[in-house]
A and B are shown apart, each in its own frame.
Chain A
Amino acid sequence: MNIQRPIFALVLAGSLAAMALPASAQLTEQVPPPRLKWSFAGPFGKYDQAQLQRGFKIYREVCANCHSMDMLSFRNLADAGGPGFSEAQAEAVAAEYKVKDLDDLGNPIERAGRLADHFPAPFANELAAKATHGVAPPDMSTLAKARSYSRGFPWFVFDMVTQYQEHGPDYIAAYLNGYKDAPKGFVLPEGGHYNEYFPGHTTAMPPPLQAGQVTYDDASPQTAEQYSKDAAAFLMWAAEPHLDARKRIGFQVMIFLIVLAGLMYFTKKKVWSAVH
């Protein structure tokens, strides 16, 4: 009995220490992006409408040239918890796009977009999309949830409590802002661009954002850093359009459950008092 205790403690300590070991020999090393402040982070987070509108402008003018947004429709621009377009404004945006359709005789035509249409893709198919840079630019509908980075133990345990779910936008903003000259000795493959945060550091996309490239309608700074943040926020909305409602309803549900748990607890105590 007595000898078990120190052995037990040793094994326990060893296990915990092992968990703190940094991940060695990962297939592709990834530099963790800096944690940014997002309006939609935390239990009371909400999208910033102005930011989403700026982000949409960047998507339209820059990203949409190569990246599709298959699962977003023009009507989503007018949805609650989104960029806050009115239905008329969303309709106007839709009408500026050309959407493929068939006429009454079955011939392919192009017509003005309607609210119900999805955002049209810039390329006809995957092969055409691959042609420019050798890799097809990924669709952006779920991109902000499809990108993440590992935080390791014990940080991911803290994240459960702090509700850190913004790995995607943090990575995307860092990536967009992370193009730099390759360090000495780094071998950059043909057609590749050095990016600080892309796993393996070689990315096929050329740096997409430069200062002053997109004219903002509000007074926000037109720097590449601001563009990166706004684009990342817009992509997060595109991936998770019901975030506002989710967190709002979540708060109501939590309050309800806590009240119910309290009532159940006292009921249990009262019921069992007959036995004790």
Chain B
Amino acid sequence: MTTVSSAEHSRRDFLYIATGAVGAVGAAAALVPLIAQMNPDASTIAAGAPVEIDLAPIADGQIVKVFWRSKPIFISHRTKKEIEEAQKVDVANLPDPEPDSERVKQGHDQWLVVIGICTHLGCIPLAHQGEYDGWFCPCHGSQYDTAGRIRKGPAPKNLPLPPYAFISDSKIRIG
């Protein structure tokens, strides 16, 4: 091996480092489409657009199930009794404390809109069942009240709320 001056050394190193760096940048850039392609595609995102639900046909005490972004949404037209039960509860002692007022839209407390997926391991709870007059999940026995809050059983959190808004007194837009 011939001896090489230190100036040549650093010039050569710079070239090697530059080539390596540019190559690494290229490899990283090449990864972007390979990973991005697994994200929801344009048609899936379009299919997940907000949906409008007409509340007029839902009778007092009736619970309706609709789908948004492939998730079941429970729309519950709560009776006076169910609303009272939900509001009277001692919030501080709940497994996941949350007052009823934070789970409904102001002025529309007869309407409860929740995502119908048990927060334990993902089964769909059954309506009008369980000790709390709300939902009962048959998979592992979680019980939810008339505000969709977890009261008993292994589920850690209340039934989550989807993003929604009232566009009129009898119509909501979910999403």
Are A and B in direct contact (Cβ within 8 Å)?
A: yes
Chain A residues in the interface with B (C-beta under 8 A): 73, 75, 79, 114-116, 256-257, 259-260, 263-264, 266-267, 270, 274
CB pair B23 A260 closer than 8 Å: yes
Inter-chain contacts of A256 with B (CB < 8 A):
22, 25-26, 29
Whether, in the assembled complex, B39 has its beta carbon less than 8 Å from a beta carbon of chain A, the answer is: no
Inter-chain contacts of B42 with A (CB < 8 A):
75, 79
A269 nearest CB neighbor, chain B only:
B15
CB pair B23 A115 closer than 8 Å: no
Separation of A256 and B1 alpha carbons in the complex (Å): 34
CB pair A267 B15 closer than 8 Å: yes
A91 nearest CB neighbor, chain B only:
B49
Chain B residues in the interface with A (C-beta under 8 A): 1-2, 12, 15-16, 18-19, 22-23, 25-26, 29, 42-43, 46-47, 49
9 A-B contacts (beta carbon < 8 Å): A75-B46, A114-B49, A116-B49, A260-B23, A263-B22, A264-B19, A267-B16, A270-B16, A274-B1
A114 nearest CB neighbor, chain B only:
B49
Inter-chain contacts of A79 with B (CB < 8 A):
42
Other-chain residue from B2, B15, B29, B47 in contact with A263 (beta carbon distance below 8 A) = B15
Separation of A260 and B24 alpha carbons in the complex (Å): 10
Answer whether A270 and B47 are a contact pair too, CB < 8 Å, given A75-B42, A263-B18, A263-B19.
no
CB pair B19 A73 closer than 8 Å: no
B57 nearest CB neighbor, chain A only:
A104
Separation of A115 and B1 alpha carbons in the complex (Å): 70
CB pair B43 A116 closer than 8 Å: yes
CB pair A115 B49 closer than 8 Å: yes
Other-chain residue from B1, B15, B22, B25 in contact with A270 (beta carbon distance below 8 A) = B15
